[in-house]
Structure formats: structure tokens, C-alpha cells
Amino acid sequence: MEDFITFFSFQDPNIRYVVAGSILIAVSSAIVGCFTFLKKKALVGDAVAHSVLPGICLSFILTGTKNPIYIIIGAFVTGWISLILIDYITRFSKIKEDTAIGLILSVFFGIGVLLLTMIQHNGNASQTGLDSFLFGKAAALVGYDLLIFSIISIILLLAVILFFKEFTLISFDENFAKSIGFPVKRLELVLTTLTVLAVVTGIQAVGVVLMAAMLITPSAAAKFWTNKLNIMLILAAVFAAFSSISGAFISFTSPSMPTGPWIVMVISIIALTSFFFAPRHGILYNIIKQRSIKKRILHENILKLFYQLGERENDFNASRSIDNILEKRTIKLGALKPGLRHLTKQGFLSKNKNFWTLTTEGKTKGQRIVKLHRLWEVYLTKYLRIAPDHVHEDADNIEHFLTPELEKRLENLLNYPESDPHSSAIPYDQITS
């Protein structure tokens, strides 16, 4: 708790800078990542992230310092070389893009790890901390380094704002962009450069191994919640900021914890949550929707039963007990009882002791379902030439989904037939003139 207060009061300027820096970095890579994601280039992002490691090591070996400028240049160069190689392999050989990406990724990362081991064995005093590029170390983000990386992040953000319209177009419809004479090749070059830069800065926070997650996961999570691109960008930024604060806090409380994995952990939890709970796309939403459809079917079936019983006895106002209902059709008691309760509450049935009666509205509704059922049976036998004894099941389902518009079309097409294939009369609304 004490840690929590010290951290979030941001009294300590050090904490302030580290947090501000890592938020900036995470947000900028998430924003650039949105377009990487929409262009379906997630794997490419991963390849670049792994391919910057040899560059970092080489620039350290050559210069002997950890000056961020050299590190960035080194990382940038090998990151780009990997992209060019992937492009070259896919274009001039039969190897598919995903295979080429896997190949380049492992070769470059392998070389990177090799160089890293070499540096560590040399026992150079200033080498300590170079391995933080593997898993990231936001806490090391101070002074000059912080300044440089923050500047790059701000440049990235500004670039995306400037190119927003252009990036959107080339992500959605590249051929159209070409057809109106947009310099698509150059725009792609800019976007790729931004992606590489985002990776190079991002690895400060989360490290090489998990950088792809930092690039893609925020946008993947955001996509669940919205269908608007600008909102998706904002959400991705918020998710990224939140997870990098959490990561920084965790590694503040226990300094042995690497920041990167925790940031990625938090953003992954956000993504998983979105996957389950987001409206329209989320799994939970779909489950709830399925449930409510099931309930509607149940309610309509009960009203239909009441109507059919009324039809049989030629008395729509009779009161009926649960046993009366079950005798016509078996419905699980566990579902029937709440169904009756709901329909009573909604005014489609009225209840007296343990007996229920159709109200006028209930009768209309039940009648419509019966009508649709029988019309659909006629349609199937007449137009699709399905045997009359096969149409009932299908109609039992479709009757719940026909919209008023389809209902009209069905009536007109069949020209208001009098009875269904089993010679039951089709009940139409009484036309009051």
C-alpha cells in the first residue's frame, strides 16, 4: 500500500519520468501498431522486433557505448535489412511469406543472441544492462535515453496524425489508392519506417521478445469494442498506457521483476477480457444474445400453445393449468414456469390462482405465430416441393424469425391460402373495415 502511494503520488521525479516515458513509448507503438494490425502485418512486426537485436549488439561492439543514438541506428539498420530480405525471398522464390518471416526471424534472433553472449563473455564493464533489451527495463529509462526515446515517440504520433487519411486508404484498399495516383509505394515505405522505429523504441519498455505483442495486442483488443478507426486508435492508446503504468508499478515494487513481461501480461488480460465481454464481437455478448433468442422462442411457443388449445376447443378465453398445457406439448417445467410468469408480467397472459388465460394481445401474438408456421409449411410444400410430413420441424423454427416484411411477402406470394398442408385453417387478422 505504501508503495502504491509513493508510486502514484508521482512525488519522486524519477518515477514521474520513467512512467511518462514508458507511457509515451507504449502509446506510440500501439498507435502505429493499429495500422500494422489492419494491414495484417502482425507477423512482420514480430520479425522486425527480433531482427533489431543483432543491430543493437553490433552497434555496441563497434562503438563500445550504450549511447541510444547508436543503438537506434544499429537496430534500425538490421530491422530494415530483415524486411528487405523477407520481401526479396517471397518475390523471387517459391517460399511463402509466413515461411520467409519465420526463417528471417529465427536467423536474425539467433545471431543476436550469439552476439549478446559474446559481449557478456568479454566482461566489458559497461555491457551490463544490454540484456535488458531482451525483456525490457523501463526503470533504466532515465536522463538522455529518456529524452531521445520520448522525442522519437512524439515524432511517431505526429506522423500518424499527419498521414492518417493516407494510411487508412492504403490499409483498406491499396489498389484503389494506386488508381487515384497516391504514391502508395512511398506511403508504405513511410509506414514501414514508422513500424521499425516504433519497434526500436518499444523494446526499451518491453524488450525484443515481447515487442510484437506491444505492437499488435492493443489494436486487436480495441477492435473488439468499436467499428470506428479513430476510436480504435484512442482505445488502443488507452490500453497501452494503462498496461505500461501497471508494468512500471510492478517493477517499481519489486525491482527484480522485468517490466516488459508485466506490461504484456496486462495488455493480454485486457485483450482476453475484450474477447469475452465486448459487445457484438465478444463471446459473452453472443452467449447472452443466444439466450435471449431462446427465451423469445419459448415465450412465443407458449402463446402458440394457448392459441392452439383455444382453437381446438373453440374457446380462446378458457383458463388453463400447467397440466393442460403439458398435455399438448412437453416443455420443461423449469422453463415453462418462468415463461408463464414473464408473459403474465408483460400482459400477454392473465393469471388467476394456478390458471392462466390469454389476453387480447396474447391471442394476437399466438395467432401470428400459428399463421406464420402454417404459411411457411405451405411455402415449403408448394415452392420447394418438400413432402408435407417433413415441413413441420422447419416451420417450428422459422416461425420465430420471419419479419413483418417477409410475412407480407409470403402472404402475397401464396395469395392468402386457406389452410396448411395438414388442412388446418390459417388464421389471418380480422380485417376491420
Partner 1 sequence: MIVNVENPVLEIHDLTVTYSRKPVLWGVDLTLPKGSLVGIIGPNGAGKSTLIKAAMDLIPKSSGWVEIFGEDLKKVRKKISYVPQRESVDWDFPASVRDVVVMGRYADIGLFKRPRKADYEAADYALKQVKLSEFSNRQISQLSGGQQQRVFLARALAQQADLYFMDEPFAGVDAATEKAIINILKQMSEQGKTVVVVHHDLQTVTKYFDWLVQLNTRLVASGPIEQVFTQELLQETYGGKLTLLSDVSTLMHTQQLPVRDKT
As measured in angstroms, the least distance from the Cβ of 179 to partner 1 is: 4
As measured in angstroms, the least distance from the Cβ of 411 to partner 1 is: 20
Task: Report the C-alpha gap between 365 and 360 in whole angstroms.
Answer: 9
Cα torsion 93, 99, 102, 103: sign: negative
As measured in angstroms, the least distance from the Cβ of 156 to partner 1 is: 17
Q: Which of 171, 243, 274, 367 binds partner 1 (CB under 8 A)?
A: 171
As measured in angstroms, the least distance from the Cβ of 404 to partner 1 is: 18
Residue 179 or 317: which CB sits closer to partner 1? 179
Q: Which of 179, 253, 321, 360 binds partner 1 (CB under 8 A)?
A: 179
Decide if residue 181 touches partner 1 (CB under 8 A): yes
Residue 97 or 145: which CB sits closer to partner 1? 97
Decide if residue 256 touches partner 1 (CB under 8 A): no
* Lookup: cell for 195: 513500424
CA 37-41-43 angle, 5° bins: 110
As measured in angstroms, the least distance from the Cβ of 38 to partner 1 is: 7
Task: Report the C-alpha gap between 278 and 306 in whole angstroms.
Answer: 38
| Contact letters for partner 1, residues 104-143 (x by CB under 8 A) | ----------------------------------------
Task: Report the C-alpha gap between 361 and 174 in whole angstroms.
Answer: 55
Residue 93 or 419: which CB sits closer to partner 1? 93
The DSSP line for 208-223 is: TTTHHHHHHHHHHHHH
- Residue pair 15/200 in contact (Cβ under 8 Å)? The answer is no
As measured in angstroms, the least distance from the Cβ of 3 to partner 1 is: 39
How many residues in the chain?
Answer: 433
**Choices 4-12, 165-173, 204-212, 357-365 (CB under 8 A): range interacting with partner 1:** 165-173
**Choices 59-67, 180-188, 371-379, 414-422 (CB under 8 A): range interacting with partner 1:** 180-188
Decide if residue 165 touches partner 1 (CB under 8 A): yes
- Residue pair 157/177 in contact (Cβ under 8 Å)? The answer is no
Decide if residue 166 touches partner 1 (CB under 8 A): yes
Decide if residue 168 touches partner 1 (CB under 8 A): yes
Decide if residue 172 touches partner 1 (CB under 8 A): yes
* Lookup: cell for 366: 399466438
Decide if residue 180 touches partner 1 (CB under 8 A): yes
What is residue 194's three-state secondary structure? helix
Decide if residue 175 touches partner 1 (CB under 8 A): yes
Diameter of the chain measured on Cα atoms: 100
Decide if residue 38 touches partner 1 (CB under 8 A): yes
Task: Report the C-alpha gap between 335 and 343 in whole angstroms.
Answer: 12
| Contact letters for partner 1, residues 362-401 (x by CB under 8 A) | ----------------------------------------
HSE (CB half, 13 Å, CA atoms) of 144?
5
Please name which of 239, 158, 226, 224 lies closest in space to residue 197, comparing C-alpha atoms.
Answer: 158
Residue 94 to residues 90, 102, 107, 140, 153: CA-CA distances in angstroms?
A: 7, 15, 19, 44, 38
Kind plus residue range of the DSSP H or E element containing 391: helix 391-398
Restricted to residues 216-235, the positions that interact with partner 1 (CB under 8 A) are 223, 226-229, 232
Residue 292 to residues 286, 297, 380, 397: CA-CA distances in angstroms?
A: 10, 9, 27, 15
* Lookup: cell for 154: 512524439
Decide if residue 274 touches partner 1 (CB under 8 A): no
As measured in angstroms, the least distance from the Cβ of 184 to partner 1 is: 10
Q: Which residues bind partner 1 (CB under 8 A)?
A: 38, 40, 162-163, 165-166, 168-169, 171-173, 175-183, 223, 226-229, 232
